[in-house]
Amino acid sequence: MLDIKKIRSNPNEFDQELKKRNIKPLSNSILKLDTEKRKNIEMLEIQKASVNSLSKDFGKIKALGSDEKILKLKEKIRDKKISISKLENEVQLNSNKLTSILETLPNLCSIDIPYGINEKDNIQIYEWGDIKKLQFKPKQHFEVPAAKYIDFKSAAKISGSRFSILSGGIATLHRALAQFMMNKHINIHKLKEVATPVLVKDNVMYGTGQLPKFSSESYKTSNGWWLIPTAEVSLTNLLANSIVSISELPIRLCAVTQCFRSEAGSAGKDTTGMLRQHQFEKVEMVTFTVPEKSTDEHERMTKCAENILKDLELPFRKVLLCSGDLGFSANKTYDLEVWLPGQGKYREISSISNCGDFQSRRMNARYREKSETKPLFLHTLNGSGLAVGRCLIAVIENYQTIDGKIMIPKCLSEFLSGAKFLNQFGELE
């Protein structure tokens, strides 16, 4: 949620920031509602004070026994209370209108975010790793013989399109990737592992920015729970309506969970294979920190994700998202895009975002510098570390051999009993 105080203090700058997000100026309509709301609140306080004063006078007049004065005072108090009720309704109406605008506006961009319309305007920061020159035409992940036990047909019978079933060695390889990532984050990156529910309440989805604007992109159960699109939702809300001590910060967490997305608006995109699915597994990182350290934490979190790709020796590039491609809750995002030789291009495997105080304002997550000081809003950050299915795709395509096997990356060997290949029969050897 955006800070109304900042909009009041510099409406022109606010409109310029919205323009960067390709949104028309809104400061006039927002401040009009805000002014009306504050004016009504002021009048409401005056009327309440007047009623309190009249109520005190009522006892004195009643003691004097003047029926006429008592009747007039009762009418006056009644009229004041009617006015108070009307003003309360006006305040609530203004507040609802103001909230309905603010809660659908995205976070404002960090000052160093380039202007752009879409992903074509993103800026590459650097590339890492050598793209292998294979002596054969590389296949896409679903064409590699060793990956034939990624079963889309059976999944379609059970659940429909954009689902997959993994069995045998490919399922073990998928599990090993998740285990490797979590071990790396816990033991080397010093993140705290958390196991979270995948079903959450409305207010939890609202807190991280999925609701109300993006309700069509997630799944809701018949009894009101939402299936999480990412563990960012449950992890970040751990501090909702809380105040932590500055001595506890930064708090760095990670979780591996199933994620669920309706993929609304993605009709026709990546329909073959397991690149874009309704259900997938992802390792998520979340950090809570003080405002002055969130930029450093963003760089740190990005390196945590990069380290996974480097250990797997998968070529990737780091990209800074432009204003038009930036996510709703983020003020700055780096995407890591891994090289897929079967497709002959880079594809996103991780987004790492600094959300500033945007999410913490929505969920009322704060910290206190000293016991006697006013609590301040936390800065929240989140990032994939990594999307397990997409990482599996990258391993399949980058480590495929001419005879249809998949070479096992060295860093995964300990999780696969020393296996060096996944063969054409779906077996580890």
Quote the crossing angle between the two packed helices 27-64 and 67-102, to the nearest 10°: 160
What is the enclosing helix (H) or strand (E) of 230?
Answer: none
CATH at residue 204: 3.30.930.10
Q: According to DSSP H, which parts of 65-133 are helical?
A: 67-102
Residue 34, pLDDT > 80, answer: yes
* CA gap 391, 349 in Å, rounded: 7
Q: How far apart are the first and last CA of the chain?
A: 52
From the list 322, 306, 297, the residue with the least C-alpha distance to 124 is 322
Share of the chain above pLDDT 70, in %: 97
Alpha helices in 106-201 (DSSP H): 152-158, 169-187
Strands 421-422 and 406-407: antiparallel
Looking at the structure, do residues 222 and 316 belong to the same domain, yes or no? Answer: yes
Domain C-terminal end among 102, 131, 160: 102
Convert 258-311 into a string of H (helix), E (strand) and C (coil): EEECCCCCCCCCCCCCCCCCCEEEEEEEEEEECHHHHHHHHHHHHHHHHHHHHH
Q: Is 123 found in the same domain as 20?
A: no
pLDDT mean over 65-89: 81
CB atoms within 10 A of CB 166: 20
Q: Are residues 320 and 175 in the same domain?
A: yes
What is the average per-residue pLDDT within 63-77?
A: 72
Instruction: Grade residue 63 by pLDDT with cuts at 50, 70 and 90.
Output: low
Same domain, 49 and 166: no
pLDDT attached to residue 266: 72
For residue 65, what pLDDT is reported?
61
Contacts of 271 (CB under 8 A, 6+ apart): 161, 162
Q: 39, 74, 102: which is the final residue of a domain?
A: 102
pLDDT digits (tens, 9 = 90+) for 336-366: 999 999 999 999 999 999 999 999 999 999 9
Is it true that the peptide bond before 386 is cis, omega within 30 degrees of 0? yes
Global pTM reads 0.92
Mean pLDDT of 356-380: 97
Tell whether 348 is covered by a domain.
yes
Of the pLDDT bands very low, low, confident and very high (cuts 50, 70, 90), residue 326 is very high
Residue 107 lies in a domain: no
Residues 72 and 194 in one domain: no
Domain assignment of residue 50, given as a range:
4-102
pLDDT for 62 beyond 90: no
Residue 278 and residue 142 in one domain: yes
428 located within any domain: no
Same domain (yes/no): 162, 269: yes
Is 60's pLDDT higher than 70?
no
Computed over every residue of the chain, the mean pLDDT equals: 94
Residues 161 and 252 in one domain: yes
Is the pLDDT at 310 greater than 90, yes or no?
yes
Q: What local confidence, expressed as pLDDT, does residue 364 receive?
A: 98
Cis geometry, peptide bond prior to residue 250 (ω within 30 degrees of 0): yes
User: pLDDT tens for residues 223-266?
Assistant: 999 999 999 999 999 999 999 999 999 999 999 999 999 987 77
pLDDT at 50: 87
Domain count, the chain: 2
Which residue, among 185, 136, 171, 212, has the nearest Cα to 285 in the 3D structure?
A: 185
Per-residue CA distances from 315 to 129, 191, 306, 387, 413 (Å): 4, 25, 10, 16, 19
Q: In a 3-state reduction of DSSP, which class is residue 253? A: strand
User: Quick one: pLDDT at residue 353?
Assistant: 98
In the predicted model, what is the mean pLDDT of residues 259-286? 90
Q: Are 16 and 138 in a shared domain?
A: no
Task: Name the least confident of 217-221, 269-273, 295-299.
Answer: 269-273
Which among 68, 102, 136 is the end of a domain? 102
Which pLDDT tens digit goes with each residue over 169-212? 999 999 999 999 999 999 999 999 999 999 999 999 999 999 99
Q: 98-148: per-residue pLDDT in tens? A: 999 999 999 999 999 999 999 999 999 999 999 988 899 999 999 999 999
On whether residue 114 sits in a domain, the answer given is no
Q: Are 227 and 124 in the same domain?
A: yes
Give every CB contact of residue 178 below 8 A, 6+ residues apart in sequence.
256, 281, 283, 388
User: Residue 112 falls within a domain, yes or no?
Assistant: no
Distance CA 227, CA 218 (A): 7
Inter-residue contact 412 to 176 (CB < 8 Å): yes
Domain annotation covers residue 342: yes
Cα–Cα distance for residue pair 329/205, rounded to 1 Å: 12
| Per-residue model confidence (pLDDT) at position 66 | 64
The CATH number assigned to the domain holding 64 equals 1.10.287.40
**pLDDT reported for residue 199:** 98
Query: Within this chain, do residues 67 and 179 fall inside the same structural domain, yes or no?
Result: no
Give tens-digit pLDDT for 383-419: 999 999 999 999 999 999 999 999 999 999 999 999 9
Same domain assignment for residues 159 and 223: yes
- Contact between residue 163 and residue 262 where contact means Cβ atoms under 8 Å apart: no
Residue 75 belongs to some domain of the structure: yes
> Does any domain span residue 108?
no
- Region 18-22: mean pLDDT is 96
